[in-house]
Structure 1
Amino acid sequence: MNILYLNHYAGSPALGMEFRPYYLAREWVRAGHRVQIVAADFSHVRARQPPAGDEVIDGIAYRWLATPAYRGNGVGRVWNIARYLTQLWAQSRRLVDEFEPDAVIASSTYPMDFWVARHIARLSRQRRGAPGRGAVLVHEVHD
């Protein structure tokens, strides 16, 4: 199964928090699945910020989308979220064509990534051409 995991703040042991996406993806990879995590290249919860682009960490494919740095919970953070979501939307077709997801998981702390995840899942179903085929959509609820 190809799992596309959308989490704005995803990290790894080497980068720092948020760890949940990494550990879930690591177990899915160990079970034989392909996982692509799409996250912002700047997050206030990470100790180290990765450069924008693609990277593989412990068998997990990461795509870091370029977003502006910010401090606190003000306008800068809102702009960071907006940049992440607009870039994710712009790359939707590319993600579907390159990764061919069977599942799209919206997992960011805020709920707006669900709209983009739904769009990606619909594109996947259109690409496969038959009702009931293509990516399923999952909205992970967490705090």
Structure 2
Amino acid sequence: MNIWYFHHYAGGPGMGRLTRPYHLSRAWAHTGHTTTNFVASFHHMLDIKEPLPPELTVDGVRYVALPARPYSGNGLGRIKNMGDYCRAVLHLPARVPSDLAKPDAIIVSSPQPFAIFPAAKLARQFGAHLTFEVRDLWPLSLIEINGTSKFHPFAILTAFTEWFAYRKANLVSSVLGGAEAHMRAHGLGPNKFVHVPNAVSLARLTMPEVPTTAAGLTAAAQIAAWKAEGRLVAIHPGAQGAPNGLDKLLEAMSLDECAGDRRPVRRFAGWYWRYGRTTQG
């Protein structure tokens, strides 16, 4: 099967942080499928803040970079970048490499959901199975987390996009296991939902990870010093944004009912409230 995977912020080792397309592509390759990842030529999740070349391969995983203007911040420039990507998807048949076979399956991942519109047209054109992969619930994330009004123009646009995607996709997958009820209430038909959680490559766990940045080397040295003192070191490797609730975890760990010495937890909690929240993400 030939898969076209549209992920605006697709990454991989040495390329970008969002590596789900990379790992899925490698897993599909082991089962005999071919995948091409269509990524924006520029996005803020790239390791090197320069536009990508039109084509590149990372450990056998193929990427085609669609033209999208550089931007900074979270304003109009980023929205225009999304528009560039969607226009490039719409005109993809006229610009794809000649050796790129027509797709049997098209997957649209929704760090930004708008590519579902041109991708649905491509699916009709090629007779391909269309899957919508939900990362964030739009516009619910905007409304519940950011406090955006449901009547905000962007919230209305994403609500229509959500409605369109649930109706046009043959299958809707999500890392959010409890999302089906919400989706069914917003137009998703029966037997169209599948939960595909994030995972980890066990092979990579056996590889020694050596930090290469100054911050990484400093952190590694501090962790080694704490271990030498006999301390228990707990690491939160994920984001520190409002949706992640790290403050609740720290409060729970600091309760008097928790067993053991709570002073290291409280010291870390104090550090987090003073410094950690200013460097979220």
TM-score (norm 2): 0.45
CA distance in structure 2 between the partners assigned to 1:142 and 1:59 by the alignment = 25
1:69 is displaced (CA, Å) by 1.0
CA distance in structure 2 between the partners assigned to 1:94 and 1:123 by the alignment = 15
Name the amino acid aligned to 2:89. Answer: L
Question: Structure 1, residues 82-138: CA drift from partner, whole Å, max 9, x if none?
Answer: 11110111113555x83211100011312211111111111102xxxxxxxxx1000
Residues 52 and 66 of structure 1: CA distance in aligned 2, closer, same or farther (over 3 Å): farther
**Percent of aligned pairs with the same amino acid:** 38
1:16 is displaced (CA, Å) by 2.0
Cross-structure match for 1:25 = 25
Question: Structure 1, residues 10-38: CA drift from partner, whole Å, max 9, x if none?
Answer: 01111121111111111111221100100
CA distance in structure 1 between the partners assigned to 2:124 and 2:91 by the alignment = 14
Cross-structure match for 2:82 = 81
Residues 91 and 18 of structure 1: CA distance in aligned 2, closer, same or farther (over 3 Å): same
CA distance in structure 2 between the partners assigned to 1:42 and 1:77 by the alignment = 10
Q: 1:103 aligns with which of 102, 105, 117?
A: 105
Three-state SS of the structure 1 residue aligned to 2:88 is helix
CA distance in structure 2 between the partners assigned to 1:11 and 1:88 by the alignment = 18
Does residue 14 (structure 1) correspond to residue 14 (structure 2)? The answer is yes
Name the amino acid aligned to 1:75. Answer: L
Question: More helix by proportion, 1 or 2?
Answer: 2
CA distance in structure 2 between the partners assigned to 1:113 and 1:89 by the alignment = 9
In structure 2, stretches of 5+ residues that fail to align are 137-281
Cross-structure match for 1:4 = 4
Question: Structure 1, residues 54-95: CA drift from partner, whole Å, max 9, x if none?
Answer: 222222221001211111110110111111110111113555
Cross-structure match for 1:132 = none
Name the amino acid aligned to 1:113. Answer: A
Three-state SS of the structure 2 residue aligned to 1:140 is strand
Cross-structure match for 2:117 = 115
Three-state SS of the structure 2 residue aligned to 1:69 is coil
Name the amino acid aligned to 1:107. Answer: S
Three-state SS of the structure 2 residue aligned to 1:137 is strand
Superposition RMSD on alpha carbons, in Å? Answer: 1.8
Greater shift after overlay, 16-25 or 51-60? 51-60
Cross-structure match for 1:53 = 54
Does residue 63 (structure 1) correspond to residue 90 (structure 2)? The answer is no
Name the amino acid aligned to 2:79. Answer: V
Greater shift after overlay, 111-120 or 52-61? 52-61
Three-state SS of the structure 1 residue aligned to 2:36 is strand
Residues 30 and 9 of structure 1: CA distance in aligned 2, closer, same or farther (over 3 Å): same
Three-state SS of the structure 2 residue aligned to 1:92 is helix
CA distance in structure 2 between the partners assigned to 1:36 and 1:61 by the alignment = 5
Cross-structure match for 2:189 = none
Larger Rg: 2
CA distance in structure 1 between the partners assigned to 2:71 and 2:63 by the alignment = 22
Aligned residues: 134
